[in-house]
Structure 1
Amino acid sequence: MSNCEVKPINFELEPSILDHSIGTIAIKIEPMYKNTKILDAFLRFMNDERLGLIPVIEENDVVIGQIQRNRFLENVVLGKFGYGIHLNSKKCLCEVMEIPSFVIDYNISLEEASLMIQKRNIMHLYDDLIVTENNKYYGIVPIHVLLEVVAKRSIILAKESNPLTGLPGNWAIQREVERRIRLKIPFDVCYIDINHFKPYNDYYGFEKGDTVIFSLGNILLDLSKNNNEIFVGHIGGDDFIIICPPEISESLCASIIKSFEELLPVFHGEDFIKGYYISKNRKGEQEIFSLLSLTCAIVSNKTGKISSFAHLASIASEVKSEAKKLARINKTSVIFKDRRTY
């Protein structure tokens, strides 16, 4: 009648499993109709100790309720004085069933589901998930499987996060872009890098260079706190990325530049007063460099025309090049937003 065995997920070998739909790991637990007697549900639980939840459905297979094992046995079967099953055995499930705590569509990805369950009411935090397909009951996903996804996701993110800033790296960046494309969420991508960072590193030393990178990472992190619509990542070196709603991309970049420039006295010391420093350029020749500044190149997917991460990368390459040209001309921080639609 029910098989609660779940095939283990090997995230080490297949991190892309997080992209799979939650329906692919659902277990075909037999539901019960709303007019089923409570005694029948009790016997189901007694005969299968691994069964944590029974979905309750209408005749058309639409989910209308749930019977959660622990609460059912405690409140309905045992009862306040231990006579629950004798008093309630002839009642129907529709009289004691709970509102479903978590019903999720078959096509939702495992990663999205793992994020969604973290926002559940604490009373139902450990309830199994009910999966539907075309609004009809499909199966159950045991909560321990989703909790494993949450834990493994955190491990994967930690492994590939930048060791200096702690920000998510390229794997997480790509996943976030693809998630927003898949869900048709309008977004802008802001590519942020430090102008003339190599000569700064050569002149002031790697320790000061790391301080600059770490500080910029903190600036981005502070701006994204308490806003789930803003994603911050560290591509590597002095290259960072922000994924955010289109309407705030330029103001975010302006805030980042302002906060970064406030730290220039710390970054440059006595050279801040002069407004420049002398270091070797890429040709090995001495050159006068202005104080550190930022280039912010923005690619917009407001119209939803960008189809993949690779498509975004091909557009970004051109936009970043144009932004860098502008930065070289102005010798200061710039914000360059591509206004084209694709």
Structure 2
Amino acid sequence: MKPSKVASRLESILDGINVTFQAIANIHTGRCFGCEVLLRGHEALGYPTVADMFDFCHTVGALAEVEVAVLGKAVNKLARLEWNAELRLFVPLDSRLLPEARAFQKAIRQEIGDHYTRLVMEVDGGTVVDVTSEWVKALKKHGALIAADRFGSGKFSQQLLHEVDPDFVKLSPFFVTDIDSDRRKRVALSQMVATAHTLGMQVIATGVQTERENLALRELGCDMVQGVFVQKPVNDPLALEATYAHLAAIGGEYRRRRTDQEWIAEQLDGIAPVLITESMSQVFERLANEPGRTLIPVVDKQGQPLGVVVERKLKNFAYSVFGKDLIANKGIGRTLQNFLSHCPIAEISSSLQQILASFSTAESADGVIITENGHYLGFLSAPSIIRAIHERTLSRARDENPLTKLPGNDLIAGFVTECFSSGQATVLAYIDFDNFKPFNDTYGFRQGDRAILLFADLMRRETINRDWFIGHIGGDDFFIGMRGGDQWSAMEAIGKLVEDFSSDAESFYDQAARENRCISAKDRDGTIKCFPLLSASAVLVGIPAGSTDRTVDEVSALIAAKKKDSKTSPNKMVFAVLEE
């Protein structure tokens, strides 16, 4: 191809290619952490795929030039967004640029200046590792971060963690799709997440399409999510949202994690971190001025934790006559990066169980770095983790039902009181079993416990897509609170719950009982009678908006008055409004 034609085609690529953005958000808070740069418009330029376009650029020796220009376009386009300085820019990198890594990163820095430290270079899981590790060192030297992309799908994925030491792990969409229903994928992904956290890396789930996938990923400990469920790729950066409220609002059952946050916050040590650019002399001075300090967290300019510098690993230099001077000598080239140690990282929204798992699987870890929306928040030492778990265990023993582990009477009363204080319209449901005593007498208390646990599990399942508070009053009595609920949607949901319980509970009976639809047992007077199979009935109490002067006792009295009516009702439910 003639040079003039090559130049013309390259010019058309640089003019015609369009830069779009797909949000990457915190899975717990919905806060937008960054966005991935995606390219569109290649078809109009005559290239079926982006890969085909880059193949041409590589063939004519212009791959680096085009990649740098694309980054410049992305940064300039994002400048329209007022809060863009907070965003990390995730950029897929072509592995063919590896041989010219140093020149490439220099060209990027010349093109985008200080924005270079916001970049997260995505290294594909299929990239040859022994070459990549040298390339990564060149990129990291000037502040860029690294993400292992499509992790789990490339043949070098596991090796990439060891050789490249990425800051982020982006899970392959293969493992994310149907993660809510595919048990084999859940097992594999849980191991990947645990490994990444142990090595101090944050995990991003890509290709998230549904709410149920998002919930499963939260449960497995992922830190961030990317996919159409968060937001489709956008051409206009103003369409990006600082916070994706639907992520933060998902899953009433996860409200219990807030309790873990309180225990964590109480034990958290807000050690001021040092910047990775600070000198070792400043680090020595800091340790000398804080005698009890054994480590200092290290962050980059954006507050992203990179690891810790540990005092005991500096002793050979600290107590040597010339040790500190040697480190301070810039000619020798020993920087804070050389003394950085791995440390597990967890979001403040993580459960204590997940934090403990990350800590326990990390070799020689002194604790866990805690982040908020991906930024450094504080440090949780090993003794602090133990104290937090111990205090939470004691609290739960007091506040939760020992069988179902659901909130008990004190927490239920607190929820109702909080509803009154907020003045928000709420529906409360009291549910108890029908014919439980004869069932328990006939089949034994173990089978009775299984029936109670079944109902508790069904309640938990129903909370997945709803902002429900669920509790266990005791025995076969349960409670559900529905903030903002209305009569008809509440009755529909509770009706389904009762119906599912009646159907599933049949499995606890023997064949004869299932065929006869009843069992013979003694009533409270000792008379043998035929009792129907297990079911449940419910009293639903509607609390109108603005009912701020009512009490828990009034709710209890109304439920007691309507309980008998619910058991004789055709649909096993009664709805009553707490009138003025």
TM-score for the superposition, normalised by structure 1 = 0.55
Structure 1 residue aligned with 2:478, among 232, 240, 243?
Answer: 240
Is the 1:189–1:299 contact (alpha carbons within 8 Å) kept by the matching residues of 2? yes
Judged with a 3 Å threshold, the aligned counterparts in structure 2 of structure 1 residues 71 and 237 are, in CA distance, closer, same or farther, namely: same
Judged with a 3 Å threshold, the aligned counterparts in structure 2 of structure 1 residues 196 and 227 are, in CA distance, closer, same or farther, namely: closer
Aligned to 1:87: 333
Distance in 2 between residues matched to 1:301 and 1:38, nearest whole Å? 62
1:196-247 CA-partner distances (Å, limit 9, x unpaired) = 544x26xx72644652342132233155259666665432222123456746
Aligned residue for 1:128, secondary structure, equals strand
1:63-106 CA-partner distances (Å, limit 9, x unpaired) = 835463258999xx99xxxx987414499xxxx9x9x96686xx
Q: How many residues are treated as equivalent by the alignment?
A: 292
Relative contact order (alpha carbons < 8 A, sep ≥ 6): 1 or 2 greater? 1
Shift of 1:193: 0.7
Aligned residue for 2:432, secondary structure, equals strand
Determine which structure has more spread, i.e. the larger CA radius of gyration.
Answer: 2
Task: Please provide the CA RMSD for this pair.
Answer: 5.9
Is 1:167 the equivalent of 2:410? no
Aligned to 2:32: none
Distance in 1 between residues matched to 2:418 and 2:435, nearest whole Å? 32
Distance in 1 between residues matched to 2:261 and 2:413, nearest whole Å? 9
**Aligned letter for 2:396?**
L
Distance in 2 between residues matched to 1:72 and 1:327, nearest whole Å? 67
Structure 1 residue aligned with 2:564, among 325, 330, 339?
Answer: 325
Is the 1:25–1:141 contact (alpha carbons within 8 Å) kept by the matching residues of 2? yes
Judged with a 3 Å threshold, the aligned counterparts in structure 2 of structure 1 residues 316 and 147 are, in CA distance, closer, same or farther, namely: farther
Is 1:219 the equivalent of 2:455? yes
Is the 1:280–1:287 contact (alpha carbons within 8 Å) kept by the matching residues of 2? yes
Shift of 1:329: 3.2
Report which stretch shifted further, 23-32 or 171-180: 171-180
Distance in 2 between residues matched to 1:175 and 1:55, nearest whole Å? 44
Judged with a 3 Å threshold, the aligned counterparts in structure 2 of structure 1 residues 237 and 21 are, in CA distance, closer, same or farther, namely: closer
Aligned to 1:68: 307
Shift of 1:341: 9.1
Judged with a 3 Å threshold, the aligned counterparts in structure 2 of structure 1 residues 271 and 155 are, in CA distance, closer, same or farther, namely: same
Aligned residue for 2:368, secondary structure, equals coil
Distance in 2 between residues matched to 1:39 and 1:190, nearest whole Å? 63
1:243-296 CA-partner distances (Å, limit 9, x unpaired) = 567467742552343332453485485497275867445xx4859675243122
Aligned to 2:497: 255
**Aligned letter for 1:87?**
G
Aligned to 2:294: 51
Aligned to 1:39: 281
Is 1:293 the equivalent of 2:535? yes
Q: How does 1:272-311 map to 2 (within 5 A)?
A: 273=516, 279-281=522-524, 284=525, 291=532, 292-299=534-541, 311=551
Judged with a 3 Å threshold, the aligned counterparts in structure 2 of structure 1 residues 24 and 266 are, in CA distance, closer, same or farther, namely: closer
Judged with a 3 Å threshold, the aligned counterparts in structure 2 of structure 1 residues 179 and 38 are, in CA distance, closer, same or farther, namely: farther
Is the 1:224–1:231 contact (alpha carbons within 8 Å) kept by the matching residues of 2? no
Structure 2: gaps spanning 5 or more residues: 1-258, 318-325
Report which stretch shifted further, 112-121 or 45-54: 112-121
% of aligned pairs identical? 13
Distance in 2 between residues matched to 1:125 and 1:186, nearest whole Å? 47
Structure 2 residue aligned with 1:127, among 359, 362, 368?
Answer: 368
Distance in 1 between residues matched to 2:406 and 2:572, nearest whole Å? 24
Is the 2:300–2:306 contact (alpha carbons within 8 Å) kept by the matching residues of 1? no
Structure 2 residue aligned with 1:190, among 419, 429, 452?
Answer: 429
Judged with a 3 Å threshold, the aligned counterparts in structure 2 of structure 1 residues 147 and 231 are, in CA distance, closer, same or farther, namely: farther
Distance in 2 between residues matched to 1:102 and 1:115, nearest whole Å? 11
Aligned residue for 2:303, secondary structure, equals strand
TM-score for the superposition, normalised by structure 2 = 0.36
Is the 1:323–1:334 contact (alpha carbons within 8 Å) kept by the matching residues of 2? no
1:284-332 CA-partner distances (Å, limit 9, x unpaired) = 48596752431223456796x6879x94x335414422541322433x5
**Aligned letter for 1:251?**
A
Distance in 1 between residues matched to 2:498 and 2:469, nearest whole Å? 14
**Aligned letter for 1:314?**
D
1:20-70 CA-partner distances (Å, limit 9, x unpaired) = 686655546455578743431255357757433347699xxxx83546325
Judged with a 3 Å threshold, the aligned counterparts in structure 2 of structure 1 residues 152 and 90 are, in CA distance, closer, same or farther, namely: closer
Aligned residue for 1:168, secondary structure, equals coil
